[in-house]
Amino acid sequence: MLLSGLDGVKPRLTDRQRQRLAAAATRLQLAPRTIVYRDGDPAGAVFINGGGVVITYKDMPSGKRRVAGFRFYADVFGLAEHGAYVNSARAVTAVTLYRIPTETLTTILRQDADLEFQFLCKMVDELRQAQRKSIIVARRDAAGRVAMFVDMLRLIGHSTHPDVIEIPMSRSDMGNYLNLALESVSRACAQLTRDGILEFSRRGARIVDRARFYKLVTSG
């Protein structure tokens, strides 16, 4: 049951569990570009994304910014290591966050094994993102990486049109995630457009040639 539970299944909370968490949580409304916490800060709380997009990243000694991932609705983030946050978190769009002190959460989880398990799945899910990223970044061609990134957003996004994908983050954020210079991201978008596979706007993309797009995404 544990093993199968970790087998990539998305957890769902009951209403009672939601209420329990809501009572313990502080609701935050943050404007775009607001820092949620910084790398190295004492990790006093865990966050649940209640809407909007958050980016987690770490500035490296070299000056480069490594993006760990993006957190969307219902994602949990703020995983600590040795009592301190390992990444920084920043609001990409306007976001609603639920902030739960670690101690409070621990108490609640101790009283609700099921909820504890759901949280666990969330943690595993967060870490699974790193695997996805590994696969994406393993590609050598910028266009392929961007295509896989767009496909990732497609799978996450609950867009009205199946071919229209919202891209909430900047080219720079994309580049830091994909391990590409922002100019390379821009050029890759231009090339995909020229090739008639995708069409890009400032904050979105549209799949033009679904077959070739799928082929490009899976040819990693």
Of the candidates 86, 48, 50, 67, the residue with the CA atom closest to the CA atom of residue 169: 67
Of 135, 159, 162, 203, the one binding its own copies by CB under 8 A: 135
Instruction: Note whether 61 binds its own copies by CB under 8 A.
Output: yes
For residue 189, the one-letter residue type is C
Instruction: Note whether 181 binds DNA by CB under 7 A.
Output: yes
Residues 131-170, interacting with DNA (CB under 7 A): 140-143, 170
Instruction: Note whether 20 binds its own copies by CB under 8 A.
Output: no
For residue 193, the one-letter residue type is T
Closer CB to its own copies, 56 or 186, in the complex: 56
Q: Considering CB distances under 5 to 8 angstroms, the limit depending on partner class, which of DNA, its own copies, none binds residue 108?
A: none
Instruction: Note whether 129 binds DNA by CB under 7 A.
Output: no
Of 22, 190, 196, 218, the one binding DNA by CB under 7 A: 190
Of the candidates 32, 67, 26, 69, the residue with the CA atom closest to the CA atom of residue 52: 32
Q: Which position has the token pair 């006093």?
A: 44
- Count of residues making up the chain: 220
> What track of x and - describes contact with its own copies for positions 88 through 127 (by CB under 8 A)?
--------------x--xx--xx-----x--xx--xx--x
Q: Which position has the token pair 């696969």?
A: 135
Alpha carbons 27 and 177: distance in angstroms, whole number: 28
| Closest separation in Å from C-beta 54 to its own copies | 17
Instruction: Note whether 160 binds its own copies by CB under 8 A.
Output: no
Alpha carbons 132 and 217: distance in angstroms, whole number: 13
